[in-house]
Amino acid sequence: MAGYEAVGSATGVVIYLQAPGPNIINTSTPRISVPYSVQVPSLENTTASFDSPGLLSTGEIDESMTGPAPGAVAVSMHVVDVNAPTLFTADSVAGQCTAQASGTSGSVTLENASVAGVPVPDNPAPNTTIDVPGIAVVTLNNQVMSGDGSLLQVKAVEIDTVPGSPLGNGYMYIGQFACGATDNPIYLPVGALGGLLLTCVLGAVFTVRQLRRRLA
């Protein structure tokens, strides 16, 4: 639709944990992202595997993005052989989202997944939360929509530690992706890049959410 621009992003794994003691684990797999554009280009990225010893390991991670029409975007990601010991395992974690003038939507599909050894549905409802006492809260298909419905952020699996967790304080995301389309994009400068990255917008959302959790 004339006048609309689309934006998208996808990251296979994100970990930020302040472990017991002075150690901070802050790591992620490569991200694909596109700022607001009338025509979103086709992008693909594959990471052979990921391993943060004792916390999370995966097999191949695939991310892709395309602009099926002007002012529209489709994002998908797929992670295999996921293992977060005692917390979450799955043969695969997949997700996709689409955004265009008529609306924005997203979904998550799991294969042979379990939380703390208990099987979970292949197609979890948005924002399904499961407590793992003393360690973390696991949220499946975490979806956050912007107030105007133009930007959707999804984390296929979100693991947030609880106070006193042996893992420390922080979070792990498996399959983080987002897409949006609007006729009124907000452009934020990002230094030498001279454009917009979706992470600028979503980073502010993450910061506010995490701050609220820690103050609660």
Instruction: Pull the structure tokens for residue 137.
Output: 């809260």
pLDDT computed for residue 20 by the predictor: 72
In the chain, which residues have pLDDT < 50? 1, 188-216
Total domains in the fold of the chain: 1
| Residues 26, 125, 29: CA angle, nearest 5 degrees | 20
Domain containing 114 equals 5-215
| Residues 92-115: tens digit of each pLDDT | 999 999 999 999 999 999 999 999
| pTM of the shown model | 0.85
Alpha-carbon span 164 to 133, nearest angstrom: 11
Query: Is the Cβ–Cβ distance between 40 and 8 less than 8 Å?
Result: yes
CA distance 32 to 11: 7
Residue among 4, 6, 28, 5 nearest 16 (CA): 28
